[in-house]
Amino acid sequence: MSKVYIKTFGCQMNIYDSARMRDALGSLGYEETQSPEEGDILLLNTCHIREKAAEKLFSEIGRLNEIKKQRAQNGQDTLIIVAGCVVQAEGEEILQRAHAIDIAVGPQNYHRLPEIVAHYNRKKGRVLEANFPADSKFDYLPKTHATSASAFLAIQEGCDNFCTYCVVPYTRGCEYSRPADEIIAEARDLVESGAKEIMLLGQNVNCWHGEGASDLGELIRRVAEIDGLERIRYTTSYPSKITENLVRAHAEVEKLMPYIHLPIQSGSNKILKAMNRQYTAEQYIEIINRFRTARPDIAISSDFIVGFPGETEEDFEETLRVVKEVGYGSSYSFKYSPRPGTPAALMKNQVSEEIKTERLIRLQELLLQQQKQAYEAMVGKEVPVLLTEKGKRKGQLIGYTPYLQTTHVNADERFLNQIVPLKIKKASATSLSGEFVCDKVAVKK
């Protein structure tokens, strides 16, 4: 059987896309392998969000090309395929810069991979497919399956918000929402193949407006009806587009986990305006309060950008103030990275690298302190944990609490992919460790 090795960079949407490319190539007889040396196809799914992310592609291609050469010496042919957001943004350039690439496909074209691979002829030239087709790739992809008890499901893709720093509207195109029935069917396939948790994905997931439900809140209620599905999550949400129905779902839908990732980016209204984010810091806090009224224990997480053009020390301190007011359970924070083709990259008042680094350190110190407090507050509590991964140590499993906190437990593999009640014994700033609440553990045979 032919094999495909897939390496994924970037966000959860890219992880989902990689699984769908695996499905698509599976229809051509390719099976996934974790070892690149075995790969008849070596596939890189790339990210363009920050400069560092995009640069990783070239070092990785160099590594894969060595493997390709080694395999050629053994008489084995290897295709190097590059997919994802870098292809959409700079397809021509990367083909010119890296001659080892055979095929490059953008995020809206990967359903065509079986056809492209089947007809590929190196002598006729390398292939670049990076347009925005009128029809949806989802209509062409074969059925999917879960490889873990926690699965991703893309329900919405693309973005019409055009934040001035961001490449996503250019790499993923305009907003598209999949119909509810299609989403429910895919969710059923995932649950039948072992998923207990589904993370509904979208670049602006709460802007979902597909056929068959009024908003994301109603869609979640429909997904919650699937027997065997125990946890629902969704990400990433755009603050000003939160509906009351979604907020209420957190109070009413038991399967919906008490967690929301709601990126604020900056606490300064001047910077939010320059970023073209369509809310103020005050409005953001008001939305958080609505979630907390509906579900008092909800964990809040966010993304932050420091050193956006024009950000003064005072603007940055506004961000610190908002962080203190909200109290985050976890967060992601980045130095602003100027991206080609975005308006912010052309702004005159760029912030120096030194200041960006200094602000990032200060912000991350505060965020880590808050995360530590949130983790420490779990000690002594009994919580259901979905165990999805094997730990580094033998006999250890890793899972997630409803608040998406990483949790370690000593347990054998029978418990992998199960939800078990754990008593939390210890906490660090980044993980919990728990023990079984013995009489409550039931292992499904």
Binding part of the chain for ligand SF4, among 84-92, 134-142, 166-174, 398-406 by CB under 6 A, reads 166-174
Is 238 an interacting residue with respect to ligand SF4 (CB under 6 A)?
yes
* Residue 177 site contact among ligand F3S, ligand SAH, ligand SF4, none (CB < 5 to 8 Å, cut-off depends on kind): none
Alpha-helical (H) ranges within 2-142 are: 12-26, 51-73, 85-97, 113-119
Is 176 an interacting residue with respect to ligand SF4 (CB under 6 A)?
no
- Cβ-count burial 84-113 (b if 16+ within 10 Å, e if not): bbbbbbbbeebbeebebbbbbbbbbbbbbb
The minimum distance between CB 423 and ligand SAH, in angstroms, equals 35
Is 235 an interacting residue with respect to ligand SAH (CB under 6 A)?
no
Tokens of 167: 């490449």
Q: Which amino acid is at 330?
A: S
Tokens of 136: 């949806």
φ, ψ for residue 312, nearest 5 deg: -90, 175
Is 203 an interacting residue with respect to ligand SF4 (CB under 6 A)?
yes
Is 338 an interacting residue with respect to ligand SF4 (CB under 6 A)?
no
Binding part of the chain for ligand SAH, among 21-29, 109-117, 160-168, 381-389 by CB under 6 A, reads 160-168
The minimum distance between CB 263 and ligand SF4, in angstroms, equals 7
Q: Which of 76, 85, 66, 79 is nearest to 18 (CA)?
A: 85
The minimum distance between CB 332 and ligand SAH, in angstroms, equals 7
Decide whether 33 or 364 has the Cβ nearer to ligand SAH.
364
CB 399 within 8 A of CB 428: no
Choose which of 5, 9, 176, 238 interacts with ligand SAH (CB under 6 A). Answer: 238
CB 206 within 8 A of CB 246: yes
How many residues touch ligand SF4 under the rule CB under 6 A: the total is 10
Which stretches does DSSP call E strand in 111-230?
A: 127-129, 150-154, 156-157, 176-177, 197-201
* Residue 337 site contact among ligand SF4, ligand F3S, ligand SAH, none (CB < 5 to 8 Å, cut-off depends on kind): ligand SAH
Q: In angstroms, rounded to a whole number, what is the distance separating the alpha carbons of residues 209 and 159?
A: 13
Is 165 an interacting residue with respect to ligand SAH (CB under 6 A)?
yes
Is 332 an interacting residue with respect to ligand SF4 (CB under 6 A)?
no
Decide whether 85 or 262 has the Cβ nearer to ligand F3S.
85
Segment 196-215, which members bind ligand SAH (CB under 6 A)? 203-204
The minimum distance between CB 162 and ligand SF4, in angstroms, equals 6
Is 385 an interacting residue with respect to ligand SF4 (CB under 6 A)?
no
Decide whether 36 or 84 has the Cβ nearer to ligand F3S.
84
Segment 395-414, which members bind ligand SAH (CB under 6 A)? none
Q: Which of 325, 328, 321 is nearest to 367 (CA)?
A: 328
Binding part of the chain for ligand SF4, among 75-83, 155-163, 283-291, 355-363 by CB under 6 A, reads 155-163
Residue 277: which residues within 8 A CB-CB, separation 6 or more?
Answer: 163, 239, 265, 266
- Alpha-carbon dihedral 374, 376, 382, 384, rounded to 10 degrees: 50
Is 159 an interacting residue with respect to ligand SF4 (CB under 6 A)?
yes
- Please, what sign has the CA dihedral across residues 322, 432, 296, 251? positive
Is 166 an interacting residue with respect to ligand SAH (CB under 6 A)?
yes
φ, ψ for residue 126, nearest 5 deg: -75, 165
Q: In angstroms, rounded to a whole number, what is the distance separating the alpha carbons of residues 330 and 303?
A: 9
Cis before 46? omega within 30: no
Is 204 an interacting residue with respect to ligand SF4 (CB under 6 A)?
yes
| String of contacts with ligand SAH for each residue 45-84, x by CB under 6 A | ----xx----------------------------------
Q: Which amino acid is at 291?
A: F
Q: In angstroms, rounded to a whole number, what is the distance separating the alpha carbons of residues 385 and 402?
A: 7
Choose which of 103, 305, 419, 432 interacts with ligand SAH (CB under 6 A). Answer: 305
- Residue whose structure tokens are 């996934």: 32
Residues in contact with ligand F3S by CB under 6 A are 10-11, 13-14, 47-49, 84-85, 167-168, 171-172
* Residue 85 site contact among ligand SF4, ligand F3S, ligand SAH, none (CB < 5 to 8 Å, cut-off depends on kind): ligand F3S
CB 344 within 8 A of CB 336: yes
* Residue 169 site contact among ligand SF4, ligand SAH, ligand F3S, none (CB < 5 to 8 Å, cut-off depends on kind): ligand SF4
Q: Which of 221, 223, 211 is nearest to 250 (CA)?
A: 221
Choose which of 10, 258, 263, 309 interacts with ligand SAH (CB under 6 A). Answer: 263
Question: Contact positions toward ligand SF4, by CB under 6 A?
Answer: 159, 161-163, 166, 168-169, 203-204, 238
Question: Contact positions toward ligand SAH, by CB under 6 A?
Answer: 49-50, 165-166, 168, 203-204, 236, 238, 263, 265, 303, 305, 334, 336-337, 339
